[in-house]
Amino acid sequence: MAIWTEANPFLDPPAGENSFSRITHNVTRVAEAEKPPKAWFIALGISSTMLAIFGISIAYVFWNGIGSWGNMHPVMWGFPIVNFVFWIGIGHAGTLISAILFLLRQTWRTAINRFAEAMTIFAVMCAGIFPGIHVGRPWLPYWMFPIPNQMSMWPQFRSPLEWDIFAVGTYFTVSLMFWFMGMIPDLATLRDRATSTPRRLIYGILAMGWRGSSRQWHRYERAYLILAALATPLVLSVHSVVSFDFATSQLPGWHTTIFPPYFVAGAIFGGFAMVLTLAVPARQFFGLKRLIAIRHLELMNKILIATGLMVGYAYGMEFFISWYSGSPYEGFAFVNRAFGPYAWAYWTMVTCNVLIPQLHWFKEVRTNPWATLAIGIAVNVGMWFERFVIICTSQSRDFLPSSWGYFIPTPFDYMTLCGSFGLFFTLFLLFCRYLPMVAMAEVKAAHPDAHAAHAQAHAAVTEAARA
Amino acid sequence: MLPFVFPRWANKTRQIAGVVLGVAPIYLIGLVWYGASPKTTDVGYMPKQPVPYSHALHAGELGIDCRYCHSTVERAGHAAIPPAATCMNCHRFIWQESKKLGPIRESAKSGKEVEWIKVHDLPDYVYFNHSAHVTRGVGCATCHGRVDRMVQVFQREPLSMSWCLDCHRAPEKNLRPPEEVTNMSWKPPGDPVAFGKSLREKNHIDPPTDCSTCHR
Amino acid sequence: MKSQKSSYWRSLAELENSAEFRELLEREFAAPPENVRLDSPERRRFMQLMGASLALAGVTSCRWQKDKLLPFSQQPENMVPGEPRFFATSMELGGSANGLLVTSYDGRPIKVEGNPEHPSSGGAANLFHQASLLSLYDPDRSESVVQRSGGARQVSSWDAFEALVKERTAALRANGGKGLRVLAEPSSSPSLADMRRRLLAAFPSAQWIEFSTEGDNQQAGSLLAFGSPYRSHPTLGNANVVLSLDCDLVGPTHPFGVANARGLVKGRTPDSGNMNRLYAVESTLTLTGSIADHRLPLRSELVKAFAAALDAEVSAKVLPPAELGPAQAKPQANFLKDPKVFKFLAVLASDLAENRGASAILAGAHQPPEVHALAHRMNAVLSNIGRTVLYRPELNRTPDRELESLKRLTEEMRAGAVDTLLIIGANPALTAPADLDFASALGKVSASIALGEYEDETARLCNWHLPLAHYLESWGDARAHDGTLSLIQPLILPLHGGRSALEVLALFAGDNRREGLDIVRRTHAALLGSDRAWNKAVHDGFAAGTTPPRFFPTLKPLSALQFSARELGDSNVSNGALELVFLPDSKVYDGRFANNSWLQELADPLSKQSWGNAARMSPKTAAELRVGEGDLVQLTLAGRSLELPAIFTPGQAEGTVAVSLGYGRHAAGHVGGLDEAGVEPVGANAYALRTIEAFHIAPSLSVARVGGHQDIATTQDLYAIDPVGKIGSEGRLSELVREATLEEFKKEPHFAREAPREPLLSLWSDPVSYQGHRWGMSIDLNRCIGCNACVVACVSENNIPVVGKANVIKGREMFWLRVDRYFKGPPEEPQVSFQPIPCQQCENAPCEQVCPVGATMHSHEGLNDMVYNRCIGTRYCSSNCPYKVRRFNYFNYHLDKVGVTPFNVVTDRKKLIQHMAFNPEVTVRARGVMEKCTFCVQRIEKTKIKAKNARRSIQDGEIKTACQQTCPTDAIVFGDLSDSASQVARLQALPRAYALLEELNNRPRVRYLARVRNPHPELA
């Protein structure tokens, strides 16, 4: 593993006369470095190749008709929608961490919120592509937007797909603002440290004239708080609405009231898993071990256990309700999931989402970055299969046995799937390279030194108590 | 090293950006709404025909009834374009030599069709039926305009979906006694809408607005 | 119906200037005349161009390209551009004519339907009749006379051929036609018989050989029973008890299938308490077997012994002992002692005896003459003759047995005794018994002439190939099942300059009449001499009152029957001694329809297999042979072998393997298989195993797995499905297809009514308030025989694309109307149920609520309107449709016909000719669009406009959906529910009526009438 042994400039301890400047240096040196570690280039090479595959597969599908994918009758949705729901799910941790944990004053979030948010943005971008390209006539999805026209035709607002448009749209906009706003002070830092004119110009524009005056700080804090308050309900709403696509339909296995909470829990579960998957290598490559400490990983792993259990509960409850409903179709849908032709998918899901995360009960496991990474990946796989099971298995066998079928993906399905990861990782790698990966300003604010005076006061009080 | 400072004018960019972001969507929607409308793209379409046939002369001055040529309009979905034979009914006797009538005589002789250019051309997924409208008392002029004044026929109305729906939802303003449909200069006695309403009652006219009315 | 006058006139006019007519044809593909505007490529191209352009088309009706209007120079009389006209004609298949009514749109036939006034048809047409329309426009039909010498193919002309005929006939006249042979399919056409007489008169020592794949056992049987080959046909309407001896009497492959089906259901109306009882004794499961009240699976070779035993028992019951002949000795067969068979036979015999004069016994075409003789005999002793079975003298057929004469012909050909061979219609190179090796014999004939629609296997081996005119292009005549004279009139000039058999024969016979019309008129000069009579007959499509008078043949004592050990079922049927049965296919018949994509794509009613055939065997037999469903097996019979996949048929007799004929063709065309074009044959050619001895039923078959698996293109799950699925599906069948016995029904008439569970509640209020019409449909499962005629009608009416084998395997078939087939009970004796599923037009439709762009909306008359041009293809509607009736265009399936997309242009005129078959009243869907049954909304709208123009209201039954129109048993009824007097309203009010998946509260507008079976109390 040359990339580990090679001299990685980011692995030396950060320079600086006090902890604040060390933090600054630790983060900014990545963006300011002449050239990133070889590993970065290798990673970018791979991801951009996958991105190209994405483009090719979509182009081919557009050209020949979406029959190039495996979608069939009755499995009308197949991979594209599976991927859509999967990515939307990933896009949850970011806003959750930055908004909800912020409101809950969980200072440890500062270590990871910045690139959790970035991850959210990119994941939602991946997700947003699929509803557009999966339709039969991909040059027309704009008909789903309420645009005045000569046919006096409007979208059909009773359709959950229509709700998706607005839910996802809002979520993306707010997350983007949230992310960008949080970055402004750090961008200003980069601007001020910049040595070349183009960097000065670009970071300067992005910093939007931030001067760090106390008035600006005051406004900034307010706005941030308000955005956090706005974003919090969205975390719950988006995936609830996405789950309506299924919950409001008649299909056995979809027609389930537990879906909204179940989807949200699953989304947070998957989102955190993805954060971990990204955080572990990032802190390794870019020497952020001091900022993203084992403690942070451990905390996230605990959340992973919690949400994992919720998801597990949902799996169980689905079975109970389907039996309790007394509808033979509902009942069959779930028996078929677990023991029908798609059992392999179902049990993969259960193993990855319910069984494997239980390892985190052991401190050795949840404090070990590599174990964390492995389990994170496993959960991502599991969550993808969860969507596959919900969509494909349910569709493949519904009411009339005469129209049952078995969905078999084509190469283009796989190309599009891994292609979407290409898009995601490419964006993420560029982010790591050119933007502040950790919220410097916030870390500093949360740093003990920021509260030195406060600490002394404490000391005084305890002295008095002793006396 | 001095911190980088933007020139003063840069302060304006924010206001400008704000204005642009506000106006652009409205402009775009307007562009699509108006620019892409058949009102703009189709109305006034006047292709050159192989024979400079003047409706103004035949239907207008000579007052030939529309149905003399477009004979199937009351029975069929299409208002048939007359065969050359119909033209020759008269032009066997008048203007036999006219150069302009060359193609007609040619066709009548050889049996080869005259290639007229279609003016009122609906999208092919729209199933319009002339008889259904003409027999209910929707005048030719309502959709085709005063053809009797057109030397060369052009499209008068947008023929867009909303235009069709406007009438299907409130046919009153375009109704007339069925026997008057081909009368180009017909004027409703008194208040058109009131008169239309009475006709609507009388002839039980209740145009459907279901999708399958026009799309099959 | 418009008077035929105009069509007759029109045809002549076109004959005069056929050059113009060709141009008009050409123009079909360039800029169309006004009078074909609706079907112009522009319409199609538009839908295709949507590809690139809908972005705009959505927002505005933008102008694509200049549309041209080309009026006639002289308007033909009685013709309104864009208005369809209807002409009566007939199609002969299996030696019997079905009266047809063909819709012609601006001179193009676009739909074939049954002629309501015709005795055989009564408005119904089977899938072959309807799909024959597509064959008319088949680009693979041969376009020109072709001459082959030494394997070199060269395009020739009719003139050249006429020259040949001249010099040939000159030579032949000298020797009285010695060496002239004509090979034709048996036909009921009087004109053909007349031409045959004339030909044989001109060439006394010439010979006319008849050969068909279904054989002539029926005639032979009549010869045995009565001493003369009489024709017979049942009138099942008068029968209380019907017995099928291995005979698919309602199936599409039965020449009288349509008439039989209509007759049979006359006596199956439980609501009026009138139910006949149908027994079926058969080896492989057929439509007849699946609607039968009692079905006994029996190897075909055992049917003879069974029939003999039955005859013995019946005769003993109804005849004085003195009249019992040697043939009435009960055969000593062990299988008859099997309690199940024994009881069945006893009950059947008594049931027959109790219904003397009201029972009918029919034997299958592939059963030996003795079985037919026994059937004839039993009908006679039960005094059914004249009541339920009618006889008439054979007028047309040559007396000698088909196979013998064909054998003789081949020997003569080998011996070089034949110098001129004219093959009419038939394709012996494919269909003749393999051991004759007809193909090689053809090489010995100096002048072999094949007259056929395609340049098929036979044509490729002959020196001359002549394009045969399609029946929609030519004059002719034939006899209906009851002997009624039916006329065949052309609706269009021969597209490829073909000529009819009559015209070619006239050429040979040196007849002074050369035009088909003259020939036919001459034949019937006596009957239809006057123009009035003739015009009426052509207008009606048949000559009324030409049914031969009733005729009572007298039985001839039957000599004692001989049974081989096999026929007594004594020898065991282990592998190597299995029985193989050859059957005409339910889709391609004997192979003549192999290039018809509608039929190829159609799913076999029972195996649900499309695009190919398979070795059908019972699951048990398969288990013994260790063969799985879809496994490739090798059938070996007397040294000849054939590879094809195995498919399970529950209810098939143990030890019987059945294969259908007509597949595996190498010269059918671009659909059915064409070697030079690299088109793989569809299915496997079972003729390769067929020999003179084993022509219908072959013993000593051995089956071997060759390893390897083939994906069978089925539109429903294969029989062998995973246990979870099996349990799950069987569990719900009793709710989906509700059935009861007549007894149960009488006790509890409402047995089917109530929903198994409380309906769900809806969030939405009704999308529309229903004023005026409320369209609805009722489908009587008790009448449905699963014959697929409705499916083809739907395909033809609604321009439904064919997707091909690969896509059917993927499960992307597009047919809007499907006939679901379910098996209940043990695989040895399954109960079969058919359930036609069109769009249920739910009032509370799940599809409408989820479409984001409102492409499917509710009409005020209660239809789920589907707006193709608004659909963007999210497929959410289909996901949410519990009946899965919505179909999606995953690709541009019409590409080859329509030709134009943003990135691909097909200009091949031969291909483009296909789109002449399109119905201009229905939009052709582009790629990426959802589509579904619309209750034939185009017909509804047309009738509404017609009625409103005339200021009148629509009569009940005035609007018929395509599926309803063609249904031979009137199982489907469509109409207005708000008119309580309408037939559909009355049917939906019946206690048997139920809604499918009612508990979902979709409130479908389709109601199913539960099926009622009528088992014999002692067998139930």
Could you read off the pLDDT of C569-609 as tens digits, one per residue?
Answer: 877 788 889 999 999 999 999 999 999 999 999 999 999 99
Are B135 and C42 in contact (CB < 8 Å)? Answer: no
Report the chain B residue with the minimal C-alpha distance to residue C926.
B125
- Which A-chain residues 147-176 have CB contacts (< 8 A) with chain B? 147-153
Contact status, residue A95 vs residue A178, Cβ threshold 8 Å: yes
**Residue A250 touches partner B, C-beta closer than 8 Å:** no
Q: pLDDT per residue over A39-63, tens digit each?
A: 889 999 999 999 999 999 999 999 8
Tokens matching residue A111: 């270590």
Strands C277-282 and C294-297: parallel
Strand (E) positions, C172-218? Answer: 180-184, 207-210
**Residue C769 touches partner B, C-beta closer than 8 Å:** no
Report residue C147: phi and psi, to 5°.
-115, 135
Option in B1, B14, B29 nearest A147 (CB): B29
Alpha-carbon distance of C365 to A204, in angstroms, equals: 92
Burial of C2 (C-beta count, 10 Å sphere; 0-12/13-18/19+): middle
Are C68 and B118 in contact (CB < 8 Å)? Answer: yes
Report the chain C residue with the minimal C-alpha distance to residue A161.
C852
Alpha-carbon distance of C606 to C831, in angstroms, equals: 12
Residue C199 to residues C171, C504, C507, Cα–Cα distance (Å) = 15, 11, 10
Alpha-carbon distance of C702 to C745, in angstroms, equals: 46
**Residue C861 touches partner B, C-beta closer than 8 Å:** yes
Q: pLDDT per residue over A74-120, tens digit each?
A: 999 999 999 999 999 998 878 887 888 888 888 888 888 888 899 99
Burial of A106 (C-beta count, 10 Å sphere; 0-12/13-18/19+): middle
Among C443, C436, C399, C403, CA closest to C421: C443
Among C865, C210, C69, C937, CA closest to B210: C865
Whether residue C326 is predicted with pLDDT greater than 90 in this model: the reply is no
Name the amino acid, one letter, at C691: T
Q: How far from chain centre, in Å, is Cα B178?
A: 20
Output the pLDDT for position A296.
87
Q: pLDDT per residue over C844-861, tens digit each?
A: 999 999 999 999 999 999
Are B32 and A149 in contact (CB < 8 Å)? Answer: yes
- Smallest CA–CA separation between A165 and chain B, in Å? 18
Output the pLDDT for position A454.
64
Q: Angle at Cα B115 formed by Cα B110 and Cα B117, nearest 5°?
A: 165
Alpha-carbon distance of B139 to B184, in angstroms, equals: 8
Q: Tell me the average pLDDT across C979-1006.
A: 94
Q: How confident is the model at residue C64 (pLDDT cuts 50, 70, 90)?
A: low
Whether residue C80 is predicted with pLDDT greater than 90 in this model: the reply is no
C479 Cβ contact partners less than 8 Å away, ≥ 6 residues apart? C96, C97, C188, C189, C190, C395, C396, C485, C486
Name the amino acid, one letter, at C643: E
Strand partners, C146: C155, C465
Alpha-carbon distance of C388 to C390, in angstroms, equals: 7
Whether residue C906 is predicted with pLDDT greater than 70 in this model: the reply is no
* Cα dihedral A447/A450/A456/A459 (nearest 10): -20
Q: Angle at Cα C792 formed by Cα C979 and Cα C590, nearest 5°?
A: 145
Among C660, C558, C576, CA closest to C615: C660
For chain A, how many residues are written?
467
Strands C274-275 and C464-467: unpaired
Q: Tell me the average pLDDT across A279-305.
A: 86
**Residue A403 touches partner C, C-beta closer than 8 Å:** yes
Whether residue A448 is predicted with pLDDT greater than 70 in this model: the reply is yes
Whether residue A197 is predicted with pLDDT greater than 90 in this model: the reply is no
Averaged pLDDT of chain A? 88
Q: Tell me the average pLDDT across A344-360.
A: 95
- Smallest CA–CA separation between A236 and chain C, in Å? 23
Report the chain A residue with the minimal C-alpha distance to residue C811.
A73
Averaged pLDDT of chain C? 88
**Residue C883 touches partner B, C-beta closer than 8 Å:** no
Are A400 and C837 in contact (CB < 8 Å)? Answer: yes
Residue percentage of chain B with pLDDT more than 90: 53
Task: Note the maximum CA span of chain A.
Answer: 86
Q: Which chains touch A (3 or more CB pairs under 8 A)?
A: B, C
- Smallest CA–CA separation between A90 and chain C, in Å? 23
Averaged pLDDT of chain B? 89
- CA-atom Rg of chain C in angstroms: 28
Residue with tokens 């069959």: A332
- Smallest CA–CA separation between A211 and chain B, in Å? 10
Report the chain C residue with the minimal C-alpha distance to residue B216.
C922
Task: Note the maximum CA span of chain B.
Answer: 101
Taking CB atoms and an 8 Å cutoff, what residues of chain C touch A135? 872-875, 928
Report residue C900: phi and psi, to 5°.
-125, 125
3-class secondary-structure state, position C239: coil
**Residue B3 touches partner A, C-beta closer than 8 Å:** yes
Name the helix (H) or strand (E) containing C623. helix C619-624
Taking CB atoms and an 8 Å cutoff, what residues of chain A touch C51? 137, 139
For chain C, how many residues are written?
1020
Are B78 and C34 in contact (CB < 8 Å)? Answer: yes
Alpha-carbon distance of C12 to B215, in angstroms, equals: 38
Best mutation site among C766, C876, C999 for testing chain A: the one with the most A CBs within 10 Å?
A: C876
Are B162 and A192 in contact (CB < 8 Å)? Answer: no
- CA-atom Rg of chain B in angstroms: 25
Are B161 and C31 in contact (CB < 8 Å)? Answer: no
Taking CB atoms and an 8 Å cutoff, what residues of chain A touch B37? 150
Report the phi/psi class of residue C956: left, alpha or beta, with left for phi > 0 and alpha for psi in -120 to 50: beta
Alpha-carbon distance of C100 to C118, in angstroms, equals: 8
Are C68 and B117 in contact (CB < 8 Å)? Answer: yes
Alpha-carbon distance of B88 to B86, in angstroms, equals: 5
Whether residue C285 is predicted with pLDDT greater than 50 in this model: the reply is yes
Contact status, residue C631 vs residue C647, Cβ threshold 8 Å: no
Taking CB atoms and an 8 Å cutoff, what residues of chain A touch B32? 147-149
Residue A417 to residues A86, A161, A384, C149, C990, Cα–Cα distance (Å) = 11, 21, 10, 59, 53
Q: How confident is the model at residue B56 (pLDDT cuts 50, 70, 90)?
A: very high
3-class secondary-structure state, position C318: helix
Taking CB atoms and an 8 Å cutoff, what residues of chain C touch B32? 59
- Smallest CA–CA separation between A96 and chain B, in Å? 29
**Residue B61 touches partner C, C-beta closer than 8 Å:** no
Residue with tokens 């035709």: A153
Alpha-carbon distance of C468 to C499, in angstroms, equals: 5
Alpha-carbon distance of B155 to B44, in angstroms, equals: 5
- Which A-chain residues 244-273 have CB contacts (< 8 A) with chain C? 245, 248-251
Among A225, A193, A8, CA closest to A102: A225
Tokens matching residue C469: 């005119």
- Smallest CA–CA separation between A186 and chain B, in Å? 15
**Residue B122 touches partner A, C-beta closer than 8 Å:** no
Contact status, residue B168 vs residue B208, Cβ threshold 8 Å: yes
Among C481, C68, A111, CA closest to B114: C68
Residue with tokens 């049987």: C221
Are C861 and B132 in contact (CB < 8 Å)? Answer: no
Best mutation site among A137, A150, A245 for testing chain C: the one with the most C CBs within 10 Å?
A: A137
Option in C757, C874, C927 nearest A65 (CB): C927
- Smallest CA–CA separation between B138 and chain A, in Å? 21
- Smallest CA–CA separation between C799 and chain B, in Å? 12
Whether residue C56 is predicted with pLDDT greater than 60 in this model: the reply is no
Residue B126 to residues A151, B33, C47, C1011, Cα–Cα distance (Å) = 12, 21, 11, 42
Among A53, A46, A12, CA closest to A417: A53
Output the pLDDT for position C83.
87
Are A152 and B161 in contact (CB < 8 Å)? Answer: yes
CB pairs under 8 A between B and C: 161
Taking CB atoms and an 8 Å cutoff, what residues of chain C touch A155? 852-854
Q: pLDDT per residue over C150-189, tens digit each?
A: 879 999 999 999 999 999 888 888 888 899 999 999 999 9
C951 Cβ contact partners less than 8 Å away, ≥ 6 residues apart? none
The b-or-e profile of C778-811 (16+ CB within 10 A means b, else e) is bbbbbbbbbbbbbbbbbbbbbbbbbbbbebbbbb
Contact status, residue C489 vs residue C543, Cβ threshold 8 Å: no
Greater model confidence, C759 or C591? C591
Output the pLDDT for position C203.
94
Q: Strand order of the sheet with strand C464-467?
A: C152-155, C146-149, C464-467, C447-452, C420-424, C180-184, C207-210
Are B215 and C867 in contact (CB < 8 Å)? Answer: yes
Residue with tokens 């008594």: C350
**Residue C78 touches partner B, C-beta closer than 8 Å:** no
Number of H helices, E strands in chain C: 33, 43
Q: pLDDT per residue over C554-574, tens digit each?
A: 998 888 889 998 889 877 788
Q: How confident is the model at residue C47 (pLDDT cuts 50, 70, 90)?
A: very low
Residue percentage of chain C with pLDDT more than 70: 92
3-class secondary-structure state, position C812: coil
3-class secondary-structure state, position C202: helix
Output the pLDDT for position B126.
93
Are C818 and A144 in contact (CB < 8 Å)? Answer: no
C73 Cβ contact partners less than 8 Å away, ≥ 6 residues apart? B83, B84, B85, B107, B108, B110, B111, B112, B113, B114
Alpha-carbon distance of C122 to C916, in angstroms, equals: 27
C968 Cβ contact partners less than 8 Å away, ≥ 6 residues apart? C114, C122, C124, C126, C257, C258, C261, C262, C785, C787, C789
